[in-house]
Amino acid sequence: MAMLDLITVALQIILPLVLIASVVLLAGKSGLELAVCVFGAGSALLALLLVAVWMVPPWWVPYVYLGLLIVTVARVIRRKGIPARWWPQNWRGWVLPSLFFLLGIWGAAMTTDALKGRQAPPGSDVLDLAFPLGPGNYLVASGGASESINGHFLTLNPRTDRQRAYRGQSYAVDLIEVDSWGLRATGWRPSDPTAYLIFGKPVFAPCDGEVLRMYDGMPDMEVPVTDTSRLEGNHVVLKCGNKAILVAHLRQGSVRVAQGARVRTGEQVGEVGNSGQSTEPHLHIHAQELPESGPLLSGDPVYLRLDGRFPVRNARLEYPEP
C-alpha cells in the first residue's frame, strides 16, 4: 500500500472512528472529560469534512461520521446521563481533556481557515470562465482561497526556481468526475488511468482566445506515479483578453489545437488524461496574469469562477445531459 493510501486510511477511516468511540469510553468519567471530548471530536470531524480530499472514501462519508457522533452522544447521555462529578479526581484525569481540547482548537482553526477560503478575498480580481467539461457529476479535489483547501497555494510564495516558474497556478482548481455514489473509479486506487471516470473526457475552451502554447506526446502515467519532467504534462495555454488560462494533464495525443490558433468558448481542445505531475486522472485549470518576463506560467495568479460558481474543495458540480 502506497504512503498516500496509508495516510488516507489513517485520517479518513481510523481517526474518525477512534474519535467517535472515545465518546463512549469517556462517558462514565467526569463531566469535563465528556464535554471536552465531544468538543474535540466534533471540531476535528468538521475540519476533516472541509479540509480532507474526499475521493476515497467518497464525499458523503464525513457527513456519516458527524451523524454517528451526534447519535453516539445522544445515546450516551440518555443511557448514562451527564456525570454528576464535573472535575477529574486526579492529574491523570486531566490528560485526555487536555489532548481533546488541543484537538478541538486545531479543528476550529482549520475549519475557520477553510470557511474563509470559500470565497475570494474582497477586492480580488476574479475571472469568469465557462465550465471546461461536458455533462457529468464532478467533484472539486482542490480549489478555494486558502492553503488548507487548495494545495496549489504552495507556489504562492515560492522558495525555489521550480516553484517560481509555476507561481501562476497558485489559485488553480482540480476537477474529477464521480458517479452517483461519489466514486471516481472502480476499486480503491486502480493503477490503470483508464479506470477513472474522467479519463478521456473532452476538454473545452473556457473562453474565446488564442493558443499561446500547446504540448502533447507525454505518456499517461500509471496511478499514483508522476512525471516531474514537465509538471503540467500535455496542456493548452490560452490567452483570453489579458489573462492566460491553462488546462493541464491532458491525455497523450488528444490535443486538437495548434499554437497561434483562435478558439471559441466550448471548442474542444483536448481530453482529460494523467500526464505530468498528476497522481491520478483529473483536469487542472488555472488563470493568471501574463508575465512581463520569465516562464509563461510564472505570472501572478488570478481567482476564477466556473459558470458563476467559485469552486472550493469537495464542492459538487452537476451538469446533466441536455
**CA-CA distance, 206 to 195, in Å (whole number)?**
26
pLDDT higher than threshold 90 for residue 24: no
Cell of residue 307, nine digits = 459558470
**Average confidence score pLDDT of the chain:** 93
Per residue in 103-115, pLDDT tens? 999 999 999 999 9
Question: At a CB cut-off of 8 Å and minimum separation 6, what does 318 contact?
Answer: 137, 138
CA distance between the termini of the chain: 41
- What pLDDT score was predicted for residue 83? 66
Section 122-146 average pLDDT: 97
- What pLDDT score was predicted for residue 3? 79
24 to each of 27, 80, 96, how far by Cα in Å? 5, 10, 14
pLDDT higher than threshold 80 for residue 128: yes
- What pLDDT score was predicted for residue 97? 78
Cell of residue 32, nine digits = 469535563
| The amino acid at 178 | V
Is 284 in contact with 109 (CB distance < 8 Å)? no
Kind of pairing between the strands at 136-142 and 173-178:
antiparallel
pLDDT higher than threshold 80 for residue 256: yes
Tell which residue, 321, 318, 320, has the closest CA to residue 139: 318
Q: Which residue has the cell 497523450?
A: 252
**CA-CA distance, 300 to 310, in Å (whole number)?**
19
Question: At a CB cut-off of 8 Å and minimum separation 6, what does 113 contact?
Answer: 146, 147, 148, 149
**CA-CA distance, 310 to 308, in Å (whole number)?**
7
Cell of residue 191, nine digits = 493503477
Provide the whole-model pTM. 0.92
Cell of residue 118, nine digits = 470559500
Per residue in 229-242, pLDDT tens? 999 999 999 999 99
Identify the DSSP state of 124.
-
Peptide bond preceding 16 in cis form (omega within 30 of 0): no
Per residue in 271-310, pLDDT tens? 999 999 999 999 999 999 999 999 999 999 999 999 999 9
| The amino acid at 291 | P
Domains of the chain with bracketed CATH? 3-116 (no CATH), 126-319 (2.70.70.10)
**CA-CA distance, 198 to 138, in Å (whole number)?**
9
pLDDT higher than threshold 70 for residue 218: yes
